[in-house]
Structure 1
Amino acid sequence: MKEEGMAAGSAKTPRTERGRRTLRALLDAAADEFGEKGFHDAAIARIAARADMAIGSFYTYFDSKEDIFRALVQDMSDQVRGTVGPRILSVPNRLDGERIGIETFLGFVREHKALYRIMDQAQFVAADAHHDHYQSIAEGYRQSLDAAVASGQVRPGDNEVRAWAIMGMNVFLGLRYGIWQDADDVGAIAGTAADLVARGIAAED
C-alpha cells in the first residue's frame, strides 16, 4: 500500500523513518491477514510473521488485534481519499474529473482487493470507524461538488444526496468490476458511469 495512510487509527506514532517503515509493514501485513482470514480468525503472530518481524515489534505499535484493525480501517480510508480525490481535482472540468475518479477507484480496488472484506467486517468490529470512513469521503465529495457548482461546472442541487448517490454507484462498480471480475477495461466502465452522472438516463429530446 501507499504511504498516504501512515497516520492511522490508534497506532502509536513512530518517531523515526525506520519506525514509519515498520508501521507501514505491519499495516500491509494486517491487510493481507484480515483480508484472507477475516477478523476473528486472524492472528497477531501471523501479522508479525507476514511483516517479517518479531511479535514484540507488533506491541510496540499496537495493543491488540482490534487496535490494529481499527488503524487499518483508517489507513485504507485515507488511501482511498488520498488516491482518488486528487485525481478528480487534477483536471479543470469536473465532469471529466468524475470519469477519472471512477477509473482511479476501480484501479485502486483491483490493487487492494482486501478493501471490501475489511470494510464489511468493520461494520461489526469497529462500527464507528466504518461510519467515519464513508462519512468523511461523503463530506469531502460534497465540498468538491459545492465548489463545482460555485464555478458553474455543475448545476445547483442537493450535493449531500449527490455525493452519497455517486459513492454508492462507485462502491458497487468496485464490487462488480474490481472484486468479482477484473478483466474489463476500467476506462470504458468509467466512461459509461461518468456519462450516467453527467446526463442521467432520460431520453434525449
Structure 2
Amino acid sequence: MQQQAPPLPVAAADKTPRTARGQRTVRIILDAAAAEFGERGYHDGSIARIAQRAGVAIGSFYTWFDSKEAVFRALVADMSRQVREHVVPHILAAPDRLSGERAGLAAFLDFVRTHKALYRIIDESAFVAEDAYRAHYVSVAEGYATSLAQAFGKGEVSDGDWQVRAWAIMGMNVFLGLKFGVWDETRSTADIAAAAHALISDGLAPRR
C-alpha cells in the first residue's frame, strides 16, 4: 500500500506574511495586481504580468498566492480596507456626525481619484468572487449602521432605520465616486461633498 504524504503543517498552509520583508512583498504584489486588473480586467490579467509589474519572480508570487483568483480576492479585501482606513479618520475627526459625512465623502472622492481601478475591480468581483463582492458592501454597511446609531446616541442625528440609511448613503457615495471620481475630475471634491451634505442634512422637502 502506498503511504500517504503527511498533511502540511498549519504554518505552511497559512500564507499570511509574518516578517516585514514578506509584508512588503505582498504589498508590492497587491499594488501590481491592482494596476494589472484595473487596466486589463480579471480575465485578461495574468500572473506573469503581475509578477513583472511587481518586479518579483513567479515563484515569489506563488509563495504568497495560490492563483490569480486568490490574489484577486485578496485585492478586493485590501481595497475595501484601504477605503475604510482613508475615510473613517476624516469622519471621526469632524466635530459632529453630519460634518463627518461631508468630510468623509470628500475624502472618499479624493481616494477614488487616485485609485481609479477600485471601481473596475469591485464591479468585476461580483462575477469572479461574488462572496467577496457581497462581503465588501455588507461589512461597510454594518459598520456604517452601527456608527449612525452611535451618533444618534450622542444626539448628532435623528432616529431612523440605520440599515436603510447606511445603504442609502453608501449608494449615493458610490455613484458620486463613479461620476466625480472616475469619470469627471473638473469639480472640487469639497463642492460635491457640500451638495451631498445639504441633501443629507436638509432632505428634499421644500423649505418653509
TM-score band (shorter)?
over 0.9
Per the TM alignment, residue 183 of structure 1 is displaced from its structure 2 partner at its CA by 2.1
Identify which of 64, 70, 74 aligns with 1:71. 74
Per-residue deviation, residues 101-143 of structure 1 (Å, max 9, x unmatched): 1000000000100000001100000000000000000011001
| 1:108 aligned onto 2:98 | no
Secondary structure of the structure 2 residue equivalent to 1:89? helix
Cα drift, residue 20 of structure 1: 0.5
Shift of 1:11: 7.9
Q: Quote the residue 1:24 is aligned against.
A: 27
Of 38, 42, 45, the residue aligned with 1:42 is 45
Q: Distance in 2 between matches of 1:136 and 1:82?
A: 13
**TM-score, length-scaled by structure 1:** 0.94
Aligned equivalent of 2:160, options 151, 157, 160: 157
How many residues are aligned here?
196
Give the distance between the partners of 2:14 and 2:129, measured in 1 at CA: 15
- Does residue 85 in structure 1 map to residue 119 in structure 2? no
Q: Match for residue 171 of structure 1?
A: 174
Distance 1:126 1:61 in 2: 19
Distance in 2 separating the partners of 1:133 and 1:154 = 25
- The unaligned stretches of length 5 or more in structure 1 are 1-9
> TM-score, length-normalised on structure 2?
0.92
Runs of 4+ in 1 over 3 A off after TM superposition: none
Contact 1:94 / 1:153 at 8 angstroms: preserved in 2? yes
Q: Are residue 56 (structure 1) and residue 59 (structure 2) matched?
A: yes
Tell me, in whole angstroms, the C-alpha distance in 2 between the residues paired with 1:172 and 1:50: 30
Is residue 197 of structure 2 the alignment partner of residue 194 of structure 1?
yes
Pair 1:42–1:99, CA change in 2 (3 A): same
* DSSP 3-state at the match of 2:44: coil
Shift of 1:31: 0.1
Q: Please say if residues 12 and 61 of structure 1, whose CA atoms lie closer than 8 Å, have aligned partners that are also in contact.
A: yes
Larger of the two Rg values belongs to structure: 2
**1:146 paired residue among 139, 149, 155:** 149
SS of 1:105's partner is helix
